[in-house]
Structure 1
Amino acid sequence: MIQSGVHPQSISDALFLSAGEMVMQQPAIVALHSATSTNALQYAYRTAADDQNRMRLLLQNAAFIPHFRQAMDSRGKVGDSQINELTSESAGDDSVSVDQIFDSVGQDRSHASAATYQYLESDGKAEDLIHAARQLTFLKGNDSHDYKYSSAALEDYYAISPELRNRYLAAATYMLPGKNDRDNSLVTRVREALA
Structure 2
Amino acid sequence: MGLDELKPGNTKRAQVTAIKAFKTFVKAENVDFDYVKRCIEKNDTGKCLVSVLDKFGMYLAFNEGKNGKPLSRNTSMQYYRQSKMWLFEVFPAQRHIVEAKLLSMGKTLESYCMKRDGKVVNKAPPCSKSDLKKMILYLYQNACSPSDYQDAALLCMLWYLFGRASDLTLVRKQNLSVDAAEVFLFASSA
What TM-score, normalized to structure 2?
0.29
- Greater RCO, CA 8 A, separation 6+: 1
If you compute each CA radius of gyration, which structure gives the higher value, 1 or 2?
Answer: 2
What TM-score, normalized to structure 1?
0.28
